[in-house]
Homo-oligomer: A and B are copies of this chain.
Amino acid sequence: MAKLYFYYSAMNAGKSSTLLQSAYNYKERGMDTLMFVAALDDRYETGKITSRIGLQANAVIFDGHFDFFEYTANALKENPNIACIFVDDAHFLCKHHVEQLSRITVFLKRPVLAYGLRSDFRGELFPATQYLLAWAEELVEIKTICHCGRKATMNMRIDEQGRPVKSGEQIEVGGNERYISVCREHFLLGDSGGGFRFAEIEDKDREGNQKT
């Protein structure tokens, strides 16, 4: 059996960067990888894993009907050099997806590294996150910070005035909502730190981090 890893974090911690760096390490040592991303994630381009800091790579899109086990078994027949399976947006998986990933590690003997959010804006686990937290051999936190300087572990949804939103659908695609990662104290107190908005600095800073 290979291991199932769950790299969890709050929003905007650098999950995709960490995934892309790990996949790069495999490639650098002459090993191939499979990378998967949610169809749902249309922040950037479809079929791309994209990090805020400016990295990007092609990935296979999954939706609810996708079968990770079948896809990986077939891919290994053509290319046994595939050494590791990477899944971005793992909080968008379904329970049966996590079962497929579990079987990949047992029967296809390849490690699976899944990267996703721990909890939603109400503090509830996502369905897939439940099973990743229950079954993964390694739970690894990717850290980020609250506006107060402490580690951020929770995700606050805020409206256009920067006020915390407490109810609504778990996933709102294409809405105007924004998320801020905060520590548990500021989550409980509903303190968004002034409704600081990421979107504004994101575009100009991303360029500053690319080599020219």
Chain A contacts to B: CB under 8 angstroms: 1, 4, 12-14, 17-18, 20-22, 24-31, 50-57, 83, 102-103, 105-106, 118-119, 123-125, 130-131, 133-135, 137, 139, 141, 143-147, 149-151, 153-154, 183-185, 188, 193, 196, 198, 201-202, 205-206, 208-211
Which residues of B lie under 8 Å from residue A124 when comparing CB positions?
A: 134
Residue in B51, B134, B193, B205 whose beta carbon sits within 8 Å of that of A125 in the complex: B134
Which residues of B lie under 8 Å from residue A21 when comparing CB positions?
A: 14, 17-18, 51, 53
Oligomeric state, in copies: 4
Q: Smallest distance from the beta carbon of A16 to chain B beta carbons, Å? A: 10
- Provide 8 A-B residue pairs closer than 8 Å at the C-beta atoms, listed in order of the A residue: A1-B185, A14-B24, A28-B202, A29-B146, A56-B211, A135-B153, A137-B151, A137-B153
Given contacts A53-B24, A55-B53, A134-B125, A1 and B211 within 8 Å (CB-CB): no
Which residues of B lie under 8 Å from residue A105 when comparing CB positions?
A: 184
Question: What 8 A-B pairs come out closest when comparing CB atoms?
Answer: A14-B21, A1-B185, A119-B134, A133-B133, A56-B211, A17-B21, A25-B144, A106-B185
A24 B209 Cβ-Cβ under 8 A: yes
A145 B26 Cβ-Cβ under 8 A: yes
Which residues of B lie under 8 Å from residue A50 when comparing CB positions?
A: 211
A31-B149, A54-B54 known; 5 other A-B pairs, CB under 8 Å? Answer: A55-B55, A83-B149, A102-B188, A103-B188, A135-B153
